[in-house]
Amino acid sequence: MNTRAFLMLFAMVVVSLLLLVTAYSQEDMTRVDNSDFSDPQRVSAVFRHDPHNEAAGIEECNECHHVYEDGKKLEDESSEGERCSDCHALQASENQPGLMKAFHMNCKGCHENKDKGPVMCGECHVRG
């Protein structure tokens, strides 16, 4: 087999493997629930919970699933099992951000603070 034929075969195998991996990884993909928004401007953000937390080194649920009381984060409390909209209304009220801003502050804010992860709209809100 000549070098050119080998490289073509190799490229076809690599592309096939990438397509296969992409197809199977999409089954594992989940999205942030945006059903509280009646007319969302973008598709819901792609978010694979366990792989994200593993890559980010997040071990405590309350890092993301926070609970605030009198404007202070309760370090030993977690809101896991509750929907974000259970605490955050669509519109801001007093010192509490509205639901969209809460999502962005929690996710994008963490990415900006750690200088890791996506921060541009299209990086999280991916069609597909």
Residue 105 lies in a domain: yes
Which burial class, exposed, middle or buried, applies to 11 when counting CB atoms under 10 A from its CB (0-12, 13-18, 19+)?
A: exposed
Residue 71 lies in a domain: yes
The boundaries of the domain holding residue 82 are: 57-128
Q: What is the CATH number of the domain that holds 72?
A: 3.90.10.10
Residue 43 lies in a domain: no
Residue 34 lies in a domain: no
Residue 51 lies in a domain: no
Question: Model confidence over 79-123: pLDDT tens digits?
Answer: 998 999 999 999 999 889 999 999 999 999 999 999 999 999 999
Residue 19 lies in a domain: no
Residue 17 lies in a domain: no
Residue range 120-127: average pLDDT? 94
Residue 65 lies in a domain: yes
How many CB atoms neighbour CB 107 within 10 A?
19
- pLDDT above 70 covers what percent of the chain? 87
**Six token digits for residue 75:** 């370090």
Question: Model confidence over 58-80: pLDDT tens digits?
Answer: 999 999 999 999 889 999 999 99
Q: How many domains does the chain have?
A: 1
pLDDT in the model for residue 8: 78
Best CA proximity match to 43, nearest among 120, 104, 128, 117: 128
In whole angstroms, give the CA distance from residue 113 to residue 128. 28
Long-range interactions of 64-72: CB distance < 8 A, separation 24+: 64/106, 64/110, 66/106, 68/96, 71/95
pLDDT in the model for residue 43: 95
